[in-house]
Homo-oligomer: A and B are copies of this chain.
Amino acid sequence: MNDGRRLEAIGIDVGGTFLKAARVGGGGELLAHLEEPVQKASADDLLSQMQEAVRGLEDGSAAHAVGVGLPGIVDSTSGKLYNAPNVPVLNGLDIGRELGQRTGRPCFAENDANAAALAEAWMGAGRGAERMLFVTLGTGVGGALVFEGRIWGGRSGYAGEIGHLQADPGGPPCGCGSWGCVETIAGGPGWERRARAALPTRASSLRGAPLLDPATIVAAALQGDALALELVDGAAAAVGMGVACALNLLNLDRVVIGGGVARAGEFLLGRIVEQARRRTFPHVFADAQFRPAELGSDAGVVGAARVALLGAPPGVAS
């Protein structure tokens, strides 16, 4: 498709609290941006909000395509959204089709972590990599694989679940149905659970802390608190084990680590890399570069726009 218009797509990032959207150029430029409280009383409300966002962001001419990042699993066979507890009104819907009917634009839906991974691969810390693992450390531990610039979703689009590799065979039950998953240790609630279990018997500056979140614990570790350091190392070992699994299975060339917990910085990331190194074939480890994510809160809309460009008719995506 080349009708003389500038190549532009709209990216929409649907979160549980905010809806973000942007008009993005074919070279990844952010041209216009909006952020609003998400309207999620009904599917119709939310689809109408997305439709209005597209209309508001289009600058006199139709966008080539629209991409939507969604906080759940987008089944690649049916196109339907599943497991979206933060926007339950959209569960079971084919958002690409629904929004396409409303806007008249080609619309494509993708899991939001996959969209962020595509954004990093396109414009961020994954540039130049052919085989990238993206890890998000937040309340949950998520992941995505980007091979040659596209999401590698596996049979139904569910691939990349590094948070649910088993890091501790004796660990606690996980919401996924298994137990001892990386996420039970290195997800936000895992940090708090481990801190609460240890505090009664340990001297620590964490005692009496109002929050036992990763940022608080990392800050205490940086001040030399021994228990906090153990908690950091426990999370680093779990994530490092998961990353090592991915490296030994896939001989990747890039690992990008993002998410709110990753913003605790080099202190945590360096420990994750070291724990991965200890569990990985040396020649496989040497093939991989580790990088913190670069795009921050823009990754969602930029990635959704990339989904649009990749999904649009042949020749549109570079």
Chain A contact residues, CB within 8 Å of chain B: 130-131, 143, 145, 152-162, 164-169, 176-178, 237, 241, 244-246, 248-253, 278-284, 287-288
Contact = CB atoms under 8 A, between A and B. Distances in A.
Query: Which of A164, A237, A252 has the most B CB atoms < 10 Å from its CB?
Result: A164
A160 B288 CA distance: 16
B178 A252 contact: no
B249 A159 contact: yes
Contact of A245 (B157, B160, B165, B251): B165
Contacts of A154: 131, 250-253, 284, 287
Query: Which of A164, A246, A249, A288 has the most B CB atoms < 10 Å from its CB?
Result: A249
B237 A245 contact: no
Contacts of A155: 130-131, 251-253, 287-288
26 contacts: A130-B155, A131-B154, A145-B250, A153-B251, A154-B251, A154-B287, A155-B251, A155-B252, A156-B251, A156-B283, A156-B287, A157-B251, A158-B281, A161-B284, A164-B281, A165-B248, A166-B245, A166-B279, A167-B169, A168-B169, A169-B237, A169-B241, A178-B279, A178-B280, A245-B249, A249-B249
